[in-house]
Amino acid sequence: MPTSCAASSLTSAPYRAGWIHYTNVAPILDPLVLPPTVTALTGVPTQMNAALLEGRVDIANISVAEFIRNADRLAALPDFSVSVLGQVYSVNLFHTCPLPELQRVALTAQSATSVALLEVLLRGWGLSPELVRDEGTAQELLARGYDGVLRIGDSALREWYEVVGPLGENASMTRLPHRGGGITVTDLSEEWYRLTGQPFVFAVWAYRKDAPPPPELLRAMRDARREGLGSLGEISQRHAAKLNLPRRVVQHYLWNFRYHLEEPDRRGLQRFAELLRPDHAELEWGPEITP
């Protein structure tokens, strides 16, 4: 007996999303209401990268380095990204000596893109310190004898403020400090801009080519982004409380991001792809999102 369309839709497997829910994507993910046909789980970048590549989720806001390395298997939504032109404040190299004197640098295991960006920048600076996987706060790792520590995400934002803060009410949000207590914080996105003059794309919403997202998820994501960007004050207040940071600092952090993967962002991404993996497969975008 033929199966009706209604019965078929009830038995079909849900579309699975994997979200890296750092503060930097709060304007998209905080307001997002998933369609009934979509389920979601959360994790750090390396976890969601693996979940997507292993087929445990169908779409994820993954590290752009993994998108580049797996461009033969993945495509990305054409108008979603986490990009920055200049300082990002949450991908930081904390160091106690000048960059040319770096000998041992501790790397986080949470992000592929930040490590790849650091490696690209080190080559550009003509430096080759020993890179060691280790975990802990920047101050803990520096106290253990590393002279450089790479930190990312909400932890890096908090630890940057611990080094440079507190900031007074009259501090200019466009000229925030980079030093304090004998520690220098080098913002890797700012260094990328100095090197290339282009935005840096940290993440894209990528999916396996054999599992494109349903239109209802794309519409929900667009609606959420529109709502989130219109509510930065409220979102900043909520996340500032979680991070124990001033609201104005978190709001500056969020309005600094580019969430639409515009042409300058794609050029920056392509430049990074050429430097990271010259033999990468062609980067693919789609499906096109219609109103």
Rounded Cα distance between 73 and 211, Å, is: 10
Percentage of the chain modeled with pLDDT above 90: 86
Pair 105, 172: CB distance under 8 Å: no
Residue type, 214: P
- Per-residue pLDDT tens digits for 193-216: 999 999 999 999 999 999 999 999
Residue whose token pair is 């789609």: 286
Query: Torsion angle, CA of 151/152/157/161, rounded to 10 degrees?
Result: 10
- Per-residue pLDDT tens digits for 130-141: 999 999 999 999
The number of CA neighbours under 13 Å toward the Cβ of 70 is 21
Which residue from 200, 198, 203, 209 is spatially nearest to 64, judged by alpha carbons?
Answer: 203
User: Is the pLDDT at 124 greater than 90, yes or no?
Assistant: yes
Q: What does the pLDDT read at residue 8?
A: 33
Rounded Cα distance between 186 and 89, Å, is: 9
Instruction: Give the containing element (helix H, strand E) for 63.
Output: strand 59-63
Q: What does the pLDDT read at residue 6?
A: 37
Average pLDDT score over residue span 90-113: 93
pTM (global) more than 0.85:
yes
Rounded Cα distance between 61 and 240, Å, is: 22
Q: How high is the mean pLDDT of the chain?
A: 92
Question: Could you tell me the pLDDT band of residue 165, with boundaries at 50, 70 and 90?
Answer: very high
Rounded Cα distance between 49 and 67, Å, is: 9
Question: Could you tell me the pLDDT band of residue 110, with boundaries at 50, 70 and 90?
Answer: confident
